[in-house]
Amino acid sequence: MINHTMIVSFHDEIPDTELDQYLKDIEQVMRDSGTIQTFHAKRHIRVPADDHSPVFVASAVVQLGLADVDALNASFAAPGAVELIKRWQARYPYRVVWVNHEALA
């Protein structure tokens, strides 16, 4: 299995209800695509040291579990993914960094 772990950072504060909806929307698109085996998402836990982050402070972390590289590649072309990104970027601009990796433990 391959994990696709995304760190999502909204430029400005986003209401909790909106962040929850964003995460639900991602999960729905990915599950509907049939490319993922698992989906996990959690909010970032803010601490004072976040004020000194050299890159950006996360809003949430999302992890997709996929069977293989082919499934990972297919997930990037999931129906509705581009529309979801455009819709949320228009409402609440954000940045994402990700890593593709095997299980950490």
CA atoms within 13 A on the CB side of 65: 8
Q: Which two three-digit tokens encode residue 8?
A: 């999502």
The model carries a pTM of 0.92
pLDDT per residue as tens digits for the range 13-45: 999 999 999 999 999 999 999 999 999 999 999
Largest CA distance in the chain: 40
